[in-house]
Chains A and B, each alone.
Chain A
Amino acid sequence: MAILAPPVRRQRAMNKGKVERDALETADIRAGRLMMIPALIIPVLLAIVFFFGFYLTLRNRRLNRGDLGFVGLENYARLLQDDKFWHSLSLTLKFTLTDVGLELSLATLMALALSQPLRGIRIYRALLIIPLMTPPVVGALVWKVLYRSGNGGFFNYFLWEAGLPMQGFIGDPSQAIFSLVAIDVWLYLPFVAIILLAGLQTLPQEQIDAAHVDGANGWQVFWQIQLPYMIPFYIVALFFRVIDSLNIFDTIYGTTKGGPGDATRVLAVNGFETAFPFFNLSYGGAIFVALWLLCTVAGSLLFIWVKRSQAT
């Protein structure tokens, strides 16, 4: 037999509970607001830095001579007429397309291989993370040694041993950009492969089994089931890698510094060199604003693609 509390006591208990709930909610709200502070501060700080950087591009600020006054959009007008800027832009796009294209293709193969129930696959997956843990500039310096000229270089030593002509790699204008792509692929291929592998592993096995029962071969399974299913994962990988490749700096500055000639002088290297060793902070800043614009456009296009793919 249930013992019911008299209505007054019940009401009191309910009121007490409500007060406690309200107090808890108030505390939660306060804690939530406190925790939101960094999320509010960081965009504000970023905006301050960005607008200060943009403001610098409207002035003629030289590191070695100080602020020489307001020049308005002169630095941007100069950009449009600067052959070296357009050369850097074209190199940046060439690097990004080659780099991201190779990474996605190879990462697809790698993800498919890693999704197989092979012996020792877990160890291999763990080893795969090593390049990811390597700071890009360290990776670049290691590769610089591997690419060394003469038979003191790692790759050239094997070419020499095999009686093949030794190569210039990053020291040869026709090979330099592709040699740098190879470094970047080494650094980030595992990252892309892990994203794609995650996609493959969320695909229901029943669909693949059903396709096999219906007589589909491996290629048909990949092309008609796995690939469409993985598109959102490709977009995520693309988003990170396109933005990162457009911004490529450390790998290149750590190895070629933009050379030979200006064969690897991508936008970020051009901007840095203009701003610091050549002291023109304002014009270097304008190059970086152009790079930011490029990244924003690329990021927005990918974002639109994400939205559309979600809608379909």
Chain B
Amino acid sequence: MKLQNRTNRRRFVQGAAVGAAAVGASWLPTRTDRIRAMQDSFDWKQFDGGQVRLILNKHPYTESLLPLVPEFEELTGISVPEPLILPEAEYFQKLLLDLSTGAGEFDAFMTGPYVHWSYDSAGWTEPLEPFLADPNMTSPEYDEADIFKSLMDANRWDLTLGGGTGQGSQWAIPVMVETYVQSFRKDLYDEAGIEPAVTIEQWRENNAAVTSGDIKGIIVRGERGGGMTGTGFISSFRGYGGVVLDEELVCQINSAEGVHVAEQYCASVRESGPEGWANVTWYEGQESFANGSYGQYMDCDFFNALYDDPDKSAVAGQVGFAHCPHAEDRDPFSSLWTWALAMSSKAQDKNAAWYFLQWATMKEQMLVATVEGRNYNPTRASVFDAPEVQATMAEWANGTYLPVVLANLGGFATLGWSPQPEQTFVSTRWDQALQEIWAGDGAQTALDSAKEDIDAHLVDTGVRS
């Protein structure tokens, strides 16, 4: 543990130094200018001497935030001991242990809507609207309305089981948003004379058509509990009219739409995907697509920052974007996820923690994090629309990035899941069913069994009667 701490500290300081140098060299206002401008309009020194302890997921957002943290310390006088940064699976386990045991080891953390539903209903997260509404606690420059309303709403919930998002308390502030798309190799598609798929059948055909020699047609997440059903798959499932839980919170993953999409999806991965699909993580999918081994990766839109980086990617300039497969008579659908910052209800110094959350989600920081730290997609309209940000995104995926992502954010993208605190069980059990179908089980049988388990679990845990 000590070694890990030392390593983290060293990396933290190195990252801060490199980041500070990069920030200093950019066209953006300098650190000193930013601090001076912010101090003019608000008393950032109110909690001088305080402390905020962070736990963060190892993520591009974290990489973009860390170099800016010394600026927060200088602005506020609040110290930020080296954050604990862990890979996603370990991160959520550590956070869960801290929150559930009430240990209070961390004051602020990264989370997102599906995950914090469990925390919110258990009383582990601190409602943020009192801070937002208090002019002594929130800078007049904060401009909450500049954050996309749909993304703020995704992190607002009144604790009603199965509904109530966009109402009630604000549990977290979004810092980046991801929607789901088909990222495909335009060169391979052109060579095969095919267009990106609209339906799931066409998707399967395309994946088979591109599979040749060393290239396989498709890679998607396959790891149980690693967001496997939560990205491209649920987007297609919802694009065919499926719902995970109906209004009475009865599981419907084994509906006709659910079986159809699961059959086609798993068959295609079996025919045209990686041999050990059930072990594929999001980062393995991203790396494998970027190194040119696959014709398509159906997953996060912002992964394109890597695909179109010629220093790191073998497919730069050859990628196209399209919406996830959907029924021909329906609009495309994309689930969405926001990484967001939240405060523990056991935070030692809630005022200092709120100052950190506020500072990290202000325009100034988000702009620097986006431009210098390549944190896409930003959650503030002013940052998203900044000419430099638009110019970068406009070139991505041969010009197809922005139209697809804007269409998603403009209405096709919404939360794919129903709010309730047993989300981890629901998604993990669905993951397991897809792995079973991929391994050869009948889709109807596997999904019936998963539905039975999910319904029993929701009754057992009191989510529904």
B421 to chain A, nearest CB (A): 6
CB interface residues, B 418-438, toward A, < 8 Å: 421-422, 424-425, 428, 431-432, 435-436, 438
> What secondary structure prevails in chain B residues at the interface with A?
helix
> Does any Cβ of B come within 8 Å of A134's Cβ?
no
Q: Which 3 residue pairs are nearest across A and B when measured between Cβ atoms?
A: A171-B276, A260-B278, A171-B279
Residues of A within 8 A of B421 (CB): 64-65
> Does any Cβ of A come within 8 Å of B93's Cβ?
yes
**Can you give 23 A-B contacts (C-beta < 8 A)?**
A63-B100, A149-B274, A149-B277, A150-B216, A150-B274, A152-B293, A153-B276, A160-B214, A166-B275, A167-B275, A170-B278, A171-B278, A172-B276, A172-B278, A176-B278, A256-B224, A257-B223, A260-B222, A260-B224, A261-B441, A278-B425, A278-B457, A279-B422
Residues of B within 8 A of A174 (CB): 439
Residues of A within 8 A of B226 (CB): 257
Chain A, Cβ-Cβ closest to B216:
A150
| Contact status A259-B122, CB under 8 Å | no
| Chain A interface (Cβ < 8 Å from any Cβ of B) | 62-65, 144, 147-153, 156, 160, 166-174, 176, 255-263, 273, 276-280
| Contact status B284-A148, CB under 8 Å | yes
| Contact status B435-A260, CB under 8 Å | yes
* A148-B284, A151-B214 known; A260 vs B291 contact (CB < 8 Å): no
4 more A-B contacts (CB under 8 A) besides A149-B274, A277-B96?
A148-B279, A152-B291, A256-B224, A278-B457
| Contact status B279-A255, CB under 8 Å | yes
> Does any Cβ of A come within 8 Å of B410's Cβ?
no
Residues of A within 8 A of B291 (CB): 152
A61 to chain B, nearest CB (A): 11
> Does any Cβ of A come within 8 Å of B461's Cβ?
yes
> Does any Cβ of A come within 8 Å of B139's Cβ?
no
Q: Which residue from A63, A169, A255, A257 sits with its C-beta under 8 Å from B96?
A: A63
Please encode chain B, from 264 to 284, with 1 for each CB lying within 8 Å of some chain A CB and 0 for all others. 000000000011111110001
Residues of B within 8 A of A152 (CB): 287-288, 291, 293
Q: Once the chains are docked, how many angstroms separate the CA of A277 from the CA of B284?
A: 23
Chain B, Cβ-Cβ closest to A78:
B460
| Contact status B277-A171, CB under 8 Å | yes
* A150-B216, A260-B439 known; A168 vs B278 contact (CB < 8 Å): yes
| Contact status B435-A65, CB under 8 Å | no
Q: Once the chains are docked, how many angstroms separate the CA of A150 from the CA of B100?
A: 39
| Contact status A148-B435, CB under 8 Å | no
| Contact status A173-B435, CB under 8 Å | yes
Please encode chain B, from 246 to 276, with 1 for each CB lying within 8 Å of some chain A CB and 0 for all others. 0000000000000000000000000000111
| Contact status B276-A170, CB under 8 Å | yes
